[in-house]
Structures are given as C-alpha cells and as structure tokens.
C-alpha cells in the first residue's frame, strides 16, 4: 500500500508518468504496472473501467501489445495539478495504422498511480 504521506513534486509526478509511457512504448507491461497501486485501474473518462487492478492492467496491456506490436504513444504535452497529471498523447497502432490523440489523466496515491482515465 502506498504511503499517503509521500509528497511528490509536480516534476516528479510528470517524470513517473513519462517513464510509464517509455516502458509502454517498450511494451513492458510488468514495468508499467510497477508504477501502480495494487487496486489501480484504467478507465474511459468518467466511464467504464477498461482494465481493473494491477493484474488486470498487466494482462490487458499484454493482450493489446500482442495485437498491436508496433503500438506507440508520444507525449505532446504534460501538466500536473496536485496529485493529478494530464498527458496529451498521440498514439499510432502501427506506422501506417490507426492514429489518434488521447488525453490521459493519472491520479496518484502517494508515489503510485491509482487510476488512469482516457479522453479520446
């Protein structure tokens, strides 16, 4: 369980989320979920949970990486306010494949991410 007393700076929070995208681009689901709380989830913004818990997120990412082996997200911009980081990302499933933009909202508990929501 993360220590709620851990106070990270905005730069530290942005660095963590940037590193999450780096390991995401390496398709390393294990390294990605290492930055998350055990009960973390990924969800659509104000909507349904897409991947539930650290293990559900790991399994979901591994399945997606198998389906899209050239998937890549590039950070266009990043912002932090309190315990929340927002990243503007450009995602490409493959160099000549589906491309889209997303706003990802990372909510922290201590030094771990407890929820990621996607606006697309």
pLDDT digits (tens, 9 = 90+) for 15-74: 999 999 999 999 999 999 999 999 999 999 988 999 999 999 999 999 999 999 999 999
Token digits of residue 76: 């266009």
Cα torsion through 43, 44, 46, 48, rounded to 10: -70
- Beta strand 84-92 with 49-52: parallel, antiparallel or unpaired? unpaired
77-108: pLDDT as tens digits: 999 999 999 999 999 999 888 899 999 999 99
């Amino acid at each position: 369980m993360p220590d709620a007393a851990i106070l990270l700076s905005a730069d530290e929070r942005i660095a963590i989320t940037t590193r999450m995208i780096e390991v995401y681009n390496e398709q390393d689901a294990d390294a990605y979920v290492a930055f998350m709380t055990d009960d973390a989830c990924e969800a659509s913004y104000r909507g349904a949970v897409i991947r539930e818990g650290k293990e559900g997120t790991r399994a979901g990412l591994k399945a997606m990486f198998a389906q899209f082996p050239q998937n890549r997200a590039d950070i266009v911009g990043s912002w932090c306010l309190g315990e929340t980081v927002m990243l503007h990302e450009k995602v490409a499933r493959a160099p000549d494949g589906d491309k889209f933009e997303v706003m990802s909202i990372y909510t922290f508990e201590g030094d771990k991410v407890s929820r990621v929501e996607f606006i697309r």
